[in-house]
Amino acid sequence: MPNQYDLTRYDGRLAIMVDSRVAEGAGRGIFFRAARGTSEADVRIMTGHGRGICTVTIDEPTAMRLRLYPQGSVPHDADLPYLANSVEATSCTETGISAQERATTMDALGRPGVKAEDLVTPGHIMVQVARNVFRPEASLPEHAYMLMSARTDSRFASWCDILNEEGDIASADECTQLAAKLGLDSFPAADVEAYGRVELADWVRAIEFSKARFS
């Protein structure tokens, strides 16, 4: 059985989120945690058991401030996320690919005082830029960003996709079984979305007002 955790007690630690509504009902999942405080041990679990690419989801004003430019064209739909330049923390002293240095970069991205000078590009950490995490059909990383905003003082989320041993996207069942095996908490995306909409109701109303006023 998956570990069903009380969302009101979530504190930014490493966990798994699953969405059984996608992939034609098979579902999928991600490892995620608050970007600030990401540790070498977290990265080892994410890469060793998730096998996905280490990524941090940030917001668009921060991407602009850090001078992280889009990879390719930005979606015309202003609600959709996009990928920005990959990064490395300037404090990394080796190649940046080790678990320790990937954790250093992810932690740096999560710090409120991070500056453009603290990062170099390209690097080994991908950056997703979220624009409206309350949009219909928001992705798992956007839900992770939402949960960080509701429960921690670090909005930004470190995450990676979870692949199975064949290298395919792991199903929701495989992801919840992995959470139980590792002793991690697992969260249904639908529950996170519902919780976030309540806890961040003022934010939701502001977005809805802006869209109605200026669309």
Domains observed in the chain? 7-214 (3.90.870.10)
Q: Residue 61, CB half-sphere, CA atoms under 13 Å: how many?
A: 3
Measured distance CA(108)–CA(56) in Å, rounded: 10
Q: What is the pLDDT of residues 79-128, one digit of tens each?
A: 999 999 999 999 999 988 999 999 999 999 999 899 999 999 999 999 99
Distances (CA, A) of 61 to 3, 69, 90, 102, 129: 35, 12, 21, 23, 9
**At residue 214, does pLDDT exceed 90?**
no
Provide the 10 A C-beta neighbour count for residue 192: 24
Residues 161-203 have pLDDT tens digits of 999 999 999 999 999 999 999 999 999 999 999 999 999 988 7
Cβ atoms of 112 and 34 closer than 8 Å: no
**Token digits of residue 86:** 């990959």
Whether 172 and 102 have beta carbons less than 8 Å apart is answered as no
Q: How far apart are the first and last CA of the chain?
A: 45
- Using 50, 70 and 90 to split pLDDT, how confident is the model at 3? very low
pTM over 0.85: yes
Kindly state the percentage of the chain with pLDDT values over 90: 78
Task: Write the pLDDT tens digit of every residue in 88-98.
Answer: 999 999 988 99
Could you tell me the pLDDT band of residue 1, with boundaries at 50, 70 and 90?
Answer: very low
Digit-coded pLDDT (tens) for 132-156: 999 989 999 999 999 999 999 888 9
Residue entry with tokens 């919840």: 176
Residue 43 has pLDDT above 90, yes or no: yes
Give the pLDDT score at 5.
62
Question: Which pLDDT value is given to residue 212?
Answer: 65
What mean pLDDT is reported for the chain? 92
Amino acid at 137: E
